[in-house]
Structure 1
Amino acid sequence: MTDSDQHRPEIVVGLVATPPDYPARVAALLTAELADRLADQVDADVLWTVRDGWGEVAPRRDGGAEALLDDLAQRRTDEQWDVAICLTDLPLHAGRVPLIAQSSVQRRTAMVSLPALGLRQLRTVRAVVPNLVGQLLADASERRRPAARVGAVHRVIAAADAGEVRYVASRLIGRVRLLTGMVRANRPGRALLGLSKLLVGVFGTAAFALTTSTIWQMGDALGGLRLTIIMLLGLTGLVAWLIITHDLWEKPDRDTPAELARMFNLGTILTLALATAVSYVVLFLGTLLAAALLIDTSVLEQTLQRPAHATDYLTLAWIISSLATVGGAIGSELEDEETVRAAAYGHHPEPTGWRDDQKRPSGRD
Structure 2
Amino acid sequence: MSSSDTPIRVMLVADPGVAARRIRKIEAAFTAEAREVLADDVTVEIETRSVRISPDGTLDIKALGELDAEHLDADAVLMLTEVPRHDEGRPLVAELFAESRTAIISYPTLGIWATKRRIQEIFMDCLLQLLPDSHGPLQQKYAQRWTQWTPTEGNGRHRLFARSGTGDLRTILGMTVANDPFRTAPKLSGALAGAAAVGAFGIFYFSIWQMADALSTARLLSIGVTAILSMVVWLILTNRLWDKPTSRDLARVVWLYNGSTVLTLLIAVSVLYATLVVTILIGALVVIDPDFLADLIGNEISFFNYLDIAWLSAAMGVVAGAVGSTFDSSMDIRRITHGQRESQRRYSEEELG
Deviations, residues 187-243 of structure 1 (Å, cap 9, x unaligned) = 112201222222122111111132111212222222222222211110001111111
- Is the alpha carbon distance of 1:44 and 1:162 closer, same or farther for their aligned partners in structure 2, counting shifts above 3 Å? farther
- Give the conservation status (yes or no) of the 8 Å contact 2:10–2:44: yes
CA positional deviation for 1:349 = 9.5
Task: Say which SS state the counterpart of residue 338 (structure 2) adopts.
Answer: coil
| Corresponding residue of 1:25 | 21
Code of the residue aligned with 2:279 in structure 1: it is: G
Q: 2:9 aligns with which of 1, 9, 12?
A: 12
1:130-209 to 2 correspondences below 5 Å: 130-139=124-133, 147-151=140-144, 153-160=146-153, 163-209=156-202
- Is the alpha carbon distance of 1:150 and 1:295 closer, same or farther for their aligned partners in structure 2, counting shifts above 3 Å? farther
1:250-261 to 2 correspondences below 5 Å: 250-253=243-246, 257-261=250-254
- Is the alpha carbon distance of 1:350 and 1:251 closer, same or farther for their aligned partners in structure 2, counting shifts above 3 Å? closer
| Corresponding residue of 2:267 | 274
Deviations, residues 55-110 of structure 1 (Å, cap 9, x unaligned) = 3365336263xx45442223102331332221101111232332211112233211
Identity of aligned residues (%): 29
2-side partners of 1:312 and 1:57: how far apart?
Answer: 54
1:103 corresponds to 2:96 = yes
Deviations, residues 15-68 of structure 1 (Å, cap 9, x unaligned) = 2223x2322222333445544332222x216x333343343365336263xx45
Task: Say which SS state the counterpart of residue 39 (structure 1) adopts.
Answer: helix
Q: 1:48 aligns with which of 42, 46, 66?
A: 42
Deviations, residues 216-272 of structure 1 (Å, cap 9, x unaligned) = 222222222222221111000111111111222222226992222111111111111
- Is the alpha carbon distance of 1:38 and 1:70 closer, same or farther for their aligned partners in structure 2, counting shifts above 3 Å? farther
Code of the residue aligned with 1:29 in structure 2: it is: K
- Give the conservation status (yes or no) of the 8 Å contact 1:143–1:162: no
CA positional deviation for 1:277 = 1.1
Q: 1:212 aligns with which of 205, 220, 227?
A: 205
1:123 corresponds to 2:117 = yes
Q: Give the stretch that moved more between structures: 75-84 or 266-275.
A: 75-84
Task: Say which SS state the counterpart of residue 44 (structure 1) adopts.
Answer: coil
Code of the residue aligned with 2:25 in structure 1: it is: L
2-side partners of 1:58 and 1:193: how far apart?
Answer: 28
2-side partners of 1:128 and 1:349: how far apart?
Answer: 24
TM-score by length of 2: 0.85
1-side partners of 2:47 and 2:55: how far apart?
Answer: 20
* Unpaired segments ≥5 residues, structure 1: 352-365
User: How many aligned residue pairs are there?
Assistant: 340
User: What is the RMSD computed on CA atoms of the aligned residues?
Assistant: 3.0
- Is the alpha carbon distance of 1:255 and 1:61 closer, same or farther for their aligned partners in structure 2, counting shifts above 3 Å? farther
Task: Say which SS state the counterpart of residue 155 (structure 1) adopts.
Answer: strand
- Give the conservation status (yes or no) of the 8 Å contact 1:21–1:349: no
| Corresponding residue of 1:75 | 67
- Give the conservation status (yes or no) of the 8 Å contact 2:172–2:257: no
2-side partners of 1:58 and 1:161: how far apart?
Answer: 26
- Give the conservation status (yes or no) of the 8 Å contact 2:243–2:258: yes
2-side partners of 1:341 and 1:260: how far apart?
Answer: 18
Task: Say which SS state the counterpart of residue 195 (structure 1) adopts.
Answer: helix
2-side partners of 1:182 and 1:126: how far apart?
Answer: 19
CA positional deviation for 1:146 = 5.4
Task: Say which SS state the counterpart of residue 50 (structure 1) adopts.
Answer: strand
1:337-356 to 2 correspondences below 5 Å: 337-348=330-341
CA positional deviation for 1:145 = 8.4
